[in-house]
Amino acid sequence: MLITALLISLAASSDPITFSEHLIFDQFSYPYGIAAGDFDGDGDLDISSADCKTNDSLYWFENDGAGRFTQHFVQKNDPERLERHALGDINGDGHLDIVIVKNLRGHLLWFENSGTPRDGKLWKRHVITTELPGAYDVTLADIDRDGDLDVAASSWILGNQFAWFENDGSPDDGTWTNFIRYGATTSSIPAANSLNSMPTVFRVSSSPTLCASSSFAFRIFPFCIAMYLLGFLVARTSRILLSKLWIFLL
Ligand SMILES: [Ca+2]
Ligand SMILES: [Ca+2]
Ligand SMILES: [Ca+2]
Ligand SMILES: [Ca+2]
């Protein structure tokens, strides 16, 4: 039984992975930014996408569970480039919200999911900042580890900023603290991750550079890289020694 299961597993793993293309929507004026999450809480992944020139809208597409999608509006008539965005429950009410950059206005916004997103109403619009010129990309992570999602964002040549914004637990009251801001020389893409259980925001820029930015993680990042390289060398040396021992025994 065990061997049979193993053979099936090996056979399955050797199958090539293939993808088929499905058209979801073709009426964009300028699509920019896409994300997937369960906006209506029914267990399947829905999709969000911004449409930033002339349509100036942000959509979510409801998944019927079989990969067929219905378009809904999150926001309409919000000009000058709603673009890249990230998903997370920003106000902790159990419903997935959207944080998004508005590039040419230098705005960072979040849209609140009411929990009934199929009702045809636009989502409530909240401003995090209007002072991030060239707002380029955004991500969410609990950077200060107080249980709520904070926002990290970057801006490109209009501002060259890399910032994070502290969620004080009441993110809909309009007071977000711009806690840290690093100068950035080029457009950059933040990505939230965890490094040794520390919330970390990575910045990848076209320099190219990679920075890990949280007060503790920034200090231990070189240490982690050194440990990784040391582990790799130890593992490689061990394999060589074991192979020589095997030959000796033979
Ligand atoms: Ca869903
Ligand atoms: Ca659905
Ligand atoms: Ca929410
Ligand atoms: Ca937090």
Read off the pLDDT of residues 29-39 as tens digits, 9 standing for 90 and up: 999 899 999 99
pLDDT for 168:
92
Classify residue 94 as left (phi > 0), alpha (psi -120 to 50) or beta. Answer: left
Contact 86/101 with Cβ under 8 angstroms? no
Give the span between the Cα atoms of 156 and 110, in whole angstroms. Answer: 20
Q: Which of 12-16, 138-142, 216-220 has the highest mean pLDDT?
A: 138-142
pLDDT for 73:
98
Report how far ligand 1's centroid is from the alpha carbon of 25 (Å): 17
Evaluate if residue 206 carries a pLDDT over 70.
no
> CA quadruple 104, 112, 114, 43: dihedral positive or negative?
positive
Report how far ligand 1's centroid is from the alpha carbon of 151 (Å): 24
Exposed, middle or buried: residue 14 (CB in 10 Å: 0-12, 13-18, 19+)? exposed
pLDDT average, residue stretch 87-114: 96
Report how far ligand 4's centroid is from the alpha carbon of 95 (Å): 17
- Please tell me whether residue 183 adopts helix, strand or coil conformation: strand
Ligand minimally distant from the alpha carbon of residue 65: 2
Percent of the chain with pLDDT over 70: 66
132-146, 151-165, 230-244: range with lowest mean pLDDT: 230-244
Strands (E), the chain: 31-37, 46-51, 57-63, 69-75, 82-88, 97-102, 107-112, 124-129, 135-141, 150-155, 161-166, 177-183, 188-195, 198-205, 209-213
Evaluate if residue 27 carries a pLDDT over 70.
yes
Report how far ligand 4's centroid is from the alpha carbon of 81 (Å): 27
Evaluate if residue 204 carries a pLDDT over 60.
no
Tell me the pTM.
0.75
pLDDT for 233:
60
Report how far ligand 2's centroid is from the alpha carbon of 134 (Å): 35
Compute φ and ψ for 237, nearest 5 degrees: -65, -40
pLDDT for 218:
40
Report how far ligand 1's centroid is from the alpha carbon of 16 (Å): 29
Evaluate if residue 110 carries a pLDDT over 80.
yes
Give the span between the Cα atoms of 153 and 99, in whole angstroms. Answer: 10
Evaluate if residue 68 carries a pLDDT over 60.
yes
Contact 107/135 with Cβ under 8 angstroms? yes
Contact 25/69 with Cβ under 8 angstroms? yes
Report how far ligand 2's centroid is from the alpha carbon of 128 (Å): 30
Report how far ligand 3's centroid is from the alpha carbon of 202 (Å): 24
pLDDT average, residue stretch 99-120: 96
Report how far ligand 2's centroid is from the alpha carbon of 166 (Å): 32
Report how far ligand 3's centroid is from the alpha carbon of 159 (Å): 29
